[in-house]
Amino acid sequence: MQKEQQDNAANADQLRTADLRRRDFIATVSASASMLWLSGCSKWFGSSSNATAEVRSITPPRLDSAYLGERIFCYRPMRRGAPNLSVGEVDGKLVACNYGHGGSGWTLGPGSASYVVGLLVASRKGSTMQTSTPITVVGGGCLGLFSAYELLQRGYTNVTIVAASFERLTSHNAGGLLAPVSMDNASGMQALINQIGIDAYRFFASVAKGKNKDFPAGASILPAYFERREDSGLEPYVGVVMQPAKDVVLDFGNGTKRPMVSYDDGIFIDTAVFMQSLTDYLRPRVTFVEKKITSYAELETDVIVDCSGLGAAKLQNDAEMVPVQGHLIMLRDQVPANLQHMILVYFDKGKTQSNQDVKRSFYIFPKHLLNTPKNDVGVIGGTFVESATPDTPNEKEFQILIDNAKKFYGLS
């Protein structure tokens, strides 16, 4: 595999530093705070800094078994060091890479596609492309679809998407919070990731405000609650595209109150809905081919955008790619008006039943699957089990998730 020598600030390998900083679960301090409620504190009236904080009433979701729907496993395509956002040459083909976004593929998607396609067209070979040059995007997840969309926006007319599957992907299952977390970025990459995230925020905000002519729905502006500002990854967005977070107290109406911070201009992406919108937009404009490839040589085109997620481990022979298992439970028969917000709190680390390291969090977002009743709204998650696979499903994590959700709301 021979890479084109070029100034590519996004080459994660070159920029990787020894002190990798985990952007997800950075909250060691937060974790210890959370342990307070995990250890049985059902009423928490907050610290003195929250004494004057705005109190917001939130009705807890229905979490009894009758209200719990589908249990979903999915796997974040995480690349240690940072996503691969680079352009190079592989066996004579020009290959742009756009994979490895971990738990932030949606958060970064539109910005990442814009950045990588920008690198492609600015590269030595890419700058000679015609708008009719055939280009293959490998992968039909959100990164692949946003990359194809970006190519169309730049006037390229001969785009094909090749994917092993277009259905029930990680991209459909993802929760939908816009927050650059659950990644593993080298410190030298953070400024770029921040910029890409800010660009993506602008894109989704335009959708949420009804200003995007191609995507009239699929994103909304909702409060995003975290325990600490540092937990959100959103501080670099404040003052650029977002307002500062506020200290608030969430009052669950049952004696349990939790001090939190709120980004009132948080963005929720209804991921399954947005996947459908992207597909509807692209279907008449690009060619869709369902096919698994084992090497770029199988593709007829000389220009490729690799958005194959975990598939890149083999296609790019990329040893930095790691599957990170997540557990999600869809909620059903809820009151949608009670779920007009997002919550993410980090808590304990432990071992799964397969003796794998697990970092546990609790989150809830107002996700809605296509073709399901209007009141079947909401998803709770989630776990973070590095290198777990379908052979190690760690089923017991679902019950732990439910138990912790109930503790969070003071329901148990």
Ligand X SMILES: Cc1cc2nc3c(=O)[nH]c(=O)nc-3n(C[C@H](O)[C@H](O)[C@H](O)COP(=O)(O)OP(=O)(O)OC[C@H]3O[C@@H](n4cnc5c(N)ncnc54)[C@H](O)[C@@H]3O)c2cc1C
Is there binding between residue 266 and ligand X (CB under 6 A)? no
Is there binding between residue 141 and ligand X (CB under 6 A)? yes
Is there binding between residue 107 and ligand X (CB under 6 A)? yes
| Cβ–Cβ < 8 Å for 204, 269 | yes
Is there binding between residue 387 and ligand X (CB under 6 A)? no
Q: Which stretch binds ligand X (CB under 6 A): 174-182, 212-220, 258-266, 349-357?
A: 174-182
Contact with ligand X (CB under 6 A) among 74, 95, 250, 388 = 74
Is there binding between residue 308 and ligand X (CB under 6 A)? yes
Q: At 154, which amino acid appears?
A: R
Exposure string for 270-308, b = 16+ CB within 10 A, e = fewer: bbbbbbebbeebbeeebeeeeeebeebeebebbbbbbbb
Instruction: Give the footprint of ligand X on residues 326-345 (CB under 6 A).
Output: 326, 328
Is there binding between residue 285 and ligand X (CB under 6 A)? no
The smaller minimum CB distance to ligand X, of residues 50 and 182, is found at 182
Contact track, ligand X, 287-306, x by CB under 6 A: -----xx-------------
Q: Which stretch binds ligand X (CB under 6 A): 96-104, 117-125, 188-196, 281-289?
A: 96-104
Residue with tokens 């277009």: 166
Is there binding between residue 99 and ligand X (CB under 6 A)? yes
Is there binding between residue 144 and ligand X (CB under 6 A)? yes
Q: Which stretch binds ligand X (CB under 6 A): 26-34, 142-150, 255-263, 392-400?
A: 142-150
Tokens coding 44:
């928490």
Is there binding between residue 359 and ligand X (CB under 6 A)? no
Give the nearest distance from C-beta 298 to ligand X in angstroms: 9
Among candidates 310, 364, 315, 373, which has minimal Cα distance to 340? 364
DSSP per position, 151-193: HHHTT---EEEEES--SS-HHHHS--B----S--B-GGGHHHH
Which neighbouring-strand residues pair with 267? 221
The smaller minimum CB distance to ligand X, of residues 149 and 259, is found at 149
Contact with ligand X (CB under 6 A) among 86, 104, 136, 277 = 104
DSSP per position, 272-298: HHHHHHHHHHHTTTSEEEE---SSGGG
Q: Which stretch binds ligand X (CB under 6 A): 56-64, 88-96, 164-172, 245-253?
A: 164-172
Q: At 379, which amino acid appears?
A: V
Give the integer Cα–Cα distance in Å for 177 and 34. Answer: 20
Which neighbouring-strand residues pair with 101? 78
Describe the crossing of helices 105-122 and 190-208 by its angle, rounded to 10 degrees.
110
Is there binding between residue 136 and ligand X (CB under 6 A)? no
The smaller minimum CB distance to ligand X, of residues 378 and 382, is found at 382
Among candidates 161, 156, 191, 160, which has minimal Cα distance to 85? 191
Residue with tokens 């481990």: 313
Greatest extent of the chain over all pairs of C-alpha atoms, in Å: 66
Q: Which stretch binds ligand X (CB under 6 A): 70-78, 118-126, 204-212, 353-361?
A: 70-78
The smaller minimum CB distance to ligand X, of residues 102 and 393, is found at 102
Is there binding between residue 176 and ligand X (CB under 6 A)? yes
Interface with ligand X (CB under 6 A) = 74-77, 99, 101-107, 138-144, 162-165, 169-171, 174-177, 292-293, 307-309, 311, 315, 326, 328, 381-382
